[in-house]
Structure 1
Amino acid sequence: MAAIKNYSLQNGEKRYQFQIYVGVDPLTGKEQRTTRRGFKTKKEAQLALSRLRLEIENGTFRKTTAETYLDVYNLWIEQYQNTVEESTFVKTSGIFKNHVLPAMGAYKIEKINVEVCQRHVNEWYGKLKKYRAVKSYAAKVLDFAVKRGYIQLNPFTLVDMPAAKKEDIEQEEAQENFYTKEQLIQFLKCLEKEDNFKAYALFRLLAFSGMRKGEALALTWNDVNFKTNEIRINKALSRGTNNRLYIKSTKTGIARTIKMDENSTRILQEWKKKQKQDYLILGYNTLKSRQLVFNNETNTFLQPTKTRKWIVQVQEKYKLEKITTHGLRHTHCSLLFEAGASIKEVQDRLGHTDVQTTMNIYAHVTQKAKEEAIQKFEKYLNI
């Protein structure tokens, strides 16, 4: 017989609980029991106990191994870790730790309904720029709960998503993260004046290749073919658990070879010679196989955050327009379009798996291209 017992919370409030035998596990042959707790009155506990006994007698009871959202998350994240890159896992875990679990972790999984989900989506909308991503990740756990049979329907599918904030749209439009042709030339000239040839070579490469920063920081000299002016991009530097830097495949998992202009190749050759001289003084032989093109003071991975320090420093010193390091990839794309490259050519060079990504992310063109568009229109009408 199951006995209902009382216990006290830390604040002194009284609650009731019970444990009941539910049969033998057919997989292990061991006896199974389930515990229910948290009832405010003895009457509530007795009612729940009666319902459980009825389910057991009718053969409709199924022992739930995950009772809360946190329980299901712990099961889901273990599977999820095996399906993504380490860096993606770290990013996702951070979203749950900072936003989802504090809000929903303690909820009983079967009690989560559309009103609960809507309330939290509205809260995330009010305080987070990437509220859609947080909602999407939170919903993945409940998708998993549906697959495991803990719930019948994912209530997040019934949530009404808030519209994009007007201020976010206006801010995005106001802060275009790329340089025009003239701004890029000025930026590189200013950078060339500085006593940091490594930074100059890196930013020149990013602007003239369109590669991602992580791809550039993972380059080794055997990826660079000085005879054919080509660079092989087949890996990227990323951040994993415990802030560890490691090499992974490219974002799309596909390697590509891109052609470079002769001046950029010449600058890379100059950096290779300077790197050899500078690091020989420090006691490092940079002529070894798989030598990093862009290394730190101990000849290991350059911290990705270093580029922000370099780019902000030169922008502030010479009062240049502010863009991020990733903005040089946007710049390369915009100037390719402006130079007359086709969508397919831009897609292949930047390493996008489908053309829609190229169109969605890099549909912006420079102000010069916009002005030329209306000039062409006016000339065509000839009114």
Structure 2
Amino acid sequence: MPLNEYLDRWLFDVAKNKLRARTFDNYESLLNCHVRKKLGAKRLSDIQAYEVQKLYNEMKKVNYSPKTIRHVHNVLSSALKQAVKWKMLMQNPCDICELPRSEKAEMMYFTPEETAKFLNAAKDDKYFPVFLLAIETGMRPEEYLGLQWKDIGFENKALSVRRALVVKKGGGFIFTEPKTKKSRRSIPISNSLIDALKIHRRNQLEERMKLGASYQNFDLVFASEIGTPLLHGNLLRRHFKPIRDKAKLPKIRLYDLRHTTATLLLSAGENPKVVSERLGHASIVLTLDTYSHVLPTMQKTATDKIEKLMRGK
């Protein structure tokens, strides 16, 4: 059996049943772009470790990042691991390949001053409430773009994260479960955010009334002019980037607003467990590892606190 045929079988008989739609699309794309052309025509049973290693080495030569090479490796290795289970291979050739050392990317985020500057620059934008909510809650883009009005508790001043919006490959969208079990959470929200959301809802209702039956109502908090989901790419290109660049702020990504939330809270001395729960991380270990750049500041704050306590202050 050619490797390409086996990969199809693995993708659609195994991976698709276990993976979220976006993850499945990523797996399929990585195999199509990097593996199939080089190794796909070879028989599965003839794939050798040195050939897989050569694939990784060639990717490195044309400047693919260690992260991308590792992603390709993880997907291919998972596929071939299943072949071993099915006794189609004696061993997984990926197991003995050497991978480039992973380089930890520098964390990008706004400082407190930059955050205030960004929000001030965004205040007249239609989607200002999106940015305010993103920074206040630390939610992932797919989480806040999947929010429905029934998730907003105006009375108890909290919102519920129950789903994620996933744009399907080739068009369309679906709602899926949040990333992890801990991602399903309730997050308290401020009076300022509640006020912004109330104004946003009123404006949205006016747009809906004008369009009448043409408005596609999915009960989304953040929707397009016709009610369909607000796409991450459109929010980024048409709103976030122009606001960020006009304010002459660092070129962080939309996702980095989440990093901004965590960094600001940890730098201010907030309990890491509270921050971890707010972000919906699987564990506090992940939070501390991801935001290790804040640890020196936290240690300095702890030193100052213990010094004051020892002096009876």
- The answer to whether the superposition gives a TM-score over 0.5 is yes
SS in 2 for 1:91: helix
| Residue in structure 2 matching 1:139, options 77, 81, 99 | 77
Contact map agreement 1:334 1:366 (CA 8 A) in 2:
no
1:139 Cα deviation from its structure 2 partner: 1.3
Aligned to 1:206: 134
1:148 Cα deviation from its structure 2 partner: 1.5
Aligned to 1:333: 262
Q: How does 1:1-383 map to 2 (within 5 A)?
A: 67-78=1-12, 79-126=14-61, 127-129=63-65, 130-164=68-102, 172-173=105-106, 176-192=107-123, 194=124, 196-197=125-126, 199-254=127-182, 255-283=184-212, 291-309=219-237, 310-365=239-294, 369=297, 376=304
1:356 Cα deviation from its structure 2 partner: 2.3
SS in 2 for 1:257: strand
Contact map agreement 2:167 2:173 (CA 8 A) in 1:
yes
Q: Note closer, same or farther for the CA distance 1:366–1:319 as it changes in structure 2 (3 Å cut).
A: farther
Structure 1 segments unaligned to the other structure (5+ residues): 1-66
Count of paired positions: 304
Percent identical pairs in the alignment equals 25
Q: Note closer, same or farther for the CA distance 1:179–1:375 as it changes in structure 2 (3 Å cut).
A: farther
CA distance in 2, matches of 1:370, 1:340: 6
SS in 2 for 1:150: coil
CA distance in 2, matches of 1:317, 1:363: 31
CA distance in 2, matches of 1:158, 1:104: 17
Deviations 1:134-163 (A, max 9, x none): 111111221122111122111111112222
CA distance in 2, matches of 1:322, 1:179: 10
Structure with higher helix content: 2
1:318 Cα deviation from its structure 2 partner: 2.2
CA distance in 2, matches of 1:335, 1:154: 44
Relative to structure 2, which stretch is displaced further, 276-285 or 226-235?
A: 276-285
CA distance in 2, matches of 1:365, 1:191: 27
Q: CA RMSD in A?
A: 2.7
1:302 Cα deviation from its structure 2 partner: 1.1
CA distance in 1, matches of 2:202, 2:214: 12
Aligned to 2:311: none
Structure with higher strand content: 1
Contact map agreement 2:117 2:247 (CA 8 A) in 1:
no
1:185 Cα deviation from its structure 2 partner: 0.5
Q: TM-score, normalised by structure 1?
A: 0.73
Deviations 1:114-138 (A, max 9, x none): 2112111212233322111111111
CA distance in 1, matches of 2:198, 2:46: 64
Runs of 4+ in structure 1 over 4 Å off: 370-377
1:96 Cα deviation from its structure 2 partner: 0.7
Contact map agreement 2:181 2:282 (CA 8 A) in 1:
no
Relative to structure 2, which stretch is displaced further, 85-94 or 275-284?
A: 275-284
